[in-house]
Amino acid sequence: MAQPEPVLAFARQRKVWHLAAPIILALSSQNLMNLVDTAMVGTLGKTALAGVGFAGMMLWAVVAVFQGLSPAVQTQTARRLGEGDSARLHQSMVNSLYLAVGFGIPYTWLLFTSAAPLFHFFNDDPAVCTLGGEYFQIRALSLVFMGVNFGFRGFFNGIKKPNLYMQTLLMMHPINILLNYLLIFGIAGLPRLETNGAALGTLIATILGTLNYIRLFLKHREPGATLHWKAVDLGGMKSLLRQAIPNCFQSFSLALGFMLYFVIAGKISTDALAATSVLIRLALLCTLIGLGFGIATLTLVGHAVGEGQPDEARRWVHTALFMTCTTLTLIGACFALFPAFFLDWFIQEPAVIHIALTPMVLMGLSQSYDAAAIVLMHAHLGGGSARRVLVISFVNQWLLFLPASYAAVTWGGFDLTGLWVCMISYRFLLFLTFVASLTQGNWIRAQV
């Protein structure tokens, strides 16, 4: 029997890069768009920055209901590809499309009509609630399109064509940035809509992205593949939901937890809330790189398991972990060494920059193990252990991290630095828990 190639062999790392690089480029362009958006909104003042930042966290929570579709579709598609089952290759993507539309329409109406009371429930600043609530309502109109986009993302990554996903995001984001600039500041005769302009630009770009995904699918589909409703398979729908529901709940609980983290930061001060908005945006640059490696790992693990090679699936996890930790250690070091340089691009008020400096250093130092936790989570998803991911994430976040953060601020009188100590401690514990699960060895399931 031939010996398997070393885990860190150049050929293996090249395969990971082949899948991860387009995803990282696409996700990084998304975060670059968010950072440019934050910089433009930041010129409107700290109230606008806090309102849009809090609305962004709320949107993350509500969009997370759809976000779990992507890894579910990707897991099943990668398995079908590994099994050589071309007849069912597109099935999970088509099923996810109709799930997103059927659930998304009433969900959009519910969120649009309840935006104002939601904001006043979570935040005490009337100006922040007004600006954030209007921004949230406009962005909520894109929920159906975002749900559809998540399904396409999972499908293209599952068939090992992440470049198609990348093409769509690289088309969307320049359009989004241009529209935001024109509509926020009222350029070229357009009305000056300020924060609402940022929301409207993103809505238009999201719709254009959906149309491009459909175009790419029709261009690259296998013979006989269709998006017609008659292609929906009820048995496949149930199988998809078994994977997607734990994913969706995990994504929702994660996002809702971070939204509550914003609420806790707001209890310190509006300055702390504005600083947290920027810190989270900057942290997402590293998170999305880790997510790119994680999505690549999910595909490689799912494909290996589909081929009946669970040991090879485990080896792919180790390869991806080495590459992730190496990359994110270097990037995180830049944040930790030069915090003022990065913060100065997005925050105008010196007082806000001052309170964000130490949390920025802590955030930079934590990026290697934070990204490693993301890779390990996606490895578990690729192995079919969506429920285990849900349990691990829920326990660490809701039973440990959030209660500790609330107690630190409410009863302990901690400032923003203390709050971020809670954050990086939580991410380290999450990493250790996934390592323990991986070491245990029963995270790969035969059927998905």
Give the integer Cα–Cα distance in Å for 386 and 383: 8
Q: Which amino acid would we find at residue 86?
A: S
322 backbone φψ class: left, alpha, beta (φ>0; ψ -120 to 50) = alpha
What pLDDT score was predicted for residue 1? 44
Per-residue pLDDT of the chain (448 residues; tens, 9 = 90+): 456 778 888 889 999 999 998 888 877 766 666 667 777 887 888 788 788 877 877 887 888 888 888 888 988 888 888 888 777 888 888 899 999 999 999 999 999 999 888 888 877 788 888 888 898 999 999 999 999 999 999 999 888 888 898 889 888 888 988 998 999 999 988 889 988 898 899 899 999 999 999 999 888 887 777 888 888 888 888 888 888 888 888 888 887 888 788 889 888 988 888 888 889 878 888 888 999 999 999 989 988 888 888 889 999 999 999 999 999 999 999 999 999 998 988 787 888 899 999 999 999 999 999 999 999 999 999 888 888 999 999 999 999 999 999 999 989 888 999 999 999 999 999 999 999 999 887 888 756 5
Can you state the percent helix, strand and coil of the chain, rounding each to 5? 85, 0, 15
Q: Name the DSSP letter for residue 87.
A: G
Give the integer Cα–Cα distance in Å for 47 and 29: 26
What pLDDT score was predicted for residue 162? 86
What pLDDT score was predicted for residue 3? 67
Q: Is 150 exposed, middle or buried (0-12, 13-18, 19+ CB in 10 A)?
A: buried
Contacts of 345 (CB under 8 A, 6+ apart): 35, 39
Q: Which of 386, 301, 37 is nearest to 177 (CA)?
A: 37
Element (H, E) at 16: helix 10-42
What pLDDT score was predicted for residue 2? 54
